């Protein structure tokens, strides 16, 4: 990040606190610009890489989702749940969902819902599985977002989480999520089947950091050294 960009980010982060309505519009503009650049570079926003992270990464397979209702929070426009051919329902939530449709060059099976993670239009316990990959630190309030994801997940349902932690706030990623706090929030309501923190790769690729990153201890991780937190959890009844 160059000096001009860093200065802009610092101003934008202050705006998140002092003028949240304007800052959210600016944040969404930046997110949409990112995806427009991706679409222009790739032409067709590919999604074949997703399947591994929703399945083998956490020791799961397609049969584990057979007949299930799936929700991906902060889904982006690629079709993150297109791999879930055995599921009964596949839904992606994103505040930019309506605008993402203009970037999509092929028909997708999953349903997109325009909503914020902190306030989703679903009944309590509607979903069998909830995912939030590379999105929690992008929310306006990650604690409220976690509460809302837990609300819409049925008791005994599965929650898979991949999120960047321990980084300084930016316009697109305004939350500095400390891994120790995140662990404490999750164990209140979930049985944690697996959990790890890995270092972020030099190219800042979140998904590849999970795939091949070096594991680190959340308890000893220096503040400001960004990592990726990945966990597989079951909601307690």
Whole-Å CA distances, 145 to 192, 208, 222, 224: 18, 25, 25, 23
Q: What is the pLDDT of residue 132?
A: 98
Ranges of residues in the chain with a pLDDT under 70 are: 1-20
Q: What is the pLDDT of residue 77?
A: 95
Q: What is the pLDDT of residue 214?
A: 84
Please check whether residue 119 is in contact with residue 95, taking contact to mean a CB–CB distance below 8 angstroms: no
Count of domains forming the chain: 1
| Closest CA relative to residue 232, chosen from 71, 54, 80 | 54
Token pair in block for residue 50: 């997703």
Task: For residues 36 and 14, give the distance between their C-alpha atoms in angstroms, rounded to a whole number.
Answer: 26
Q: What is the pLDDT of residue 62?
A: 96
Task: Give φ, ψ of 90 to 5 degrees.
Answer: -130, 120
Looking at residue 174, which CATH number applies to its domain?
3.40.50.150
Q: What is the pLDDT of residue 43?
A: 86
Q: What is the pLDDT of residue 1?
A: 57
Token pair in block for residue 235: 């909601």
Q: What is the pLDDT of residue 120?
A: 98
Q: What is the pLDDT of residue 121?
A: 98
Task: Give φ, ψ of 61 to 5 degrees.
Answer: -140, 175
Q: What is the pLDDT of residue 73?
A: 98
Please check whether residue 124 is in contact with residue 148, taking contact to mean a CB–CB distance below 8 angstroms: no
Whole-Å CA distances, 167 to 55, 106, 163: 27, 35, 11
Q: What is the pLDDT of residue 144?
A: 97
Q: What is the pTM of this model?
A: 0.90
| Closest CA relative to residue 78, chosen from 131, 114, 42, 113 | 42
Q: What is the pLDDT of residue 10?
A: 58
Parent domain of 60? 3-235
pLDDT tens sequence across 25-35? 888 988 999 99
78's CB contacts (< 8 A; 6+ apart) are 45, 46, 47, 50
Q: What is the pLDDT of residue 27?
A: 85
Q: What is the pLDDT of residue 160?
A: 98
């Amino acid at each position: 990040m160059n000096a001009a960009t860093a200065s802009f980010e610092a101003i934008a982060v202050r705006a998140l606190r002092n003028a949240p309505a304007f800052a959210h519009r600016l944040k969404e503009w930046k997110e949409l610009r990112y995806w427009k650049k991706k679409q222009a570079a790739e032409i067709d926003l590919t999604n074949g890489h997703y399947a591994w992270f929703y399945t083998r990464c956490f020791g799961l397979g397609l049969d584990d989702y057979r007949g299930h209702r799936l929700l991906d929070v902060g889904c982006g426009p690629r079709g993150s749940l297109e791999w879930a051919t055995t599921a009964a329902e596949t839904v992606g939530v994103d505040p930019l969902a309506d605008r993402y449709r203009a970037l999509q060059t092929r028909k997708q099976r999953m349903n997109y819902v325009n909503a914020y993670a902190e306030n989703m239009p679903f009944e309590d316990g509607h979903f069998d599985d909830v995912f939030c990959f590379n999105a929690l630190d992008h929310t306006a309030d990650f604690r409220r977002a976690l509460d809302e994801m837990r609300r819409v997940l049925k008791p005994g349902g599965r929650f898979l989480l991949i999120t960047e932690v321990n980084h300084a706030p930016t316009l697109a990623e305004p939350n500095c999520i400390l891994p120790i706090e995140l662990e404490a929030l999750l164990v209140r309501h979930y049985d944690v089947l697996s959990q790890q923190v890995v270092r972020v790769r030099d190219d800042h690729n979140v998904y590849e950091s999970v795939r091949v990153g070096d594991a680190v201890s959340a308890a000893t991780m220096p503040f400001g050294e960004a990592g990726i937190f990945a966990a597989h959890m079951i909601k307690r009844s």
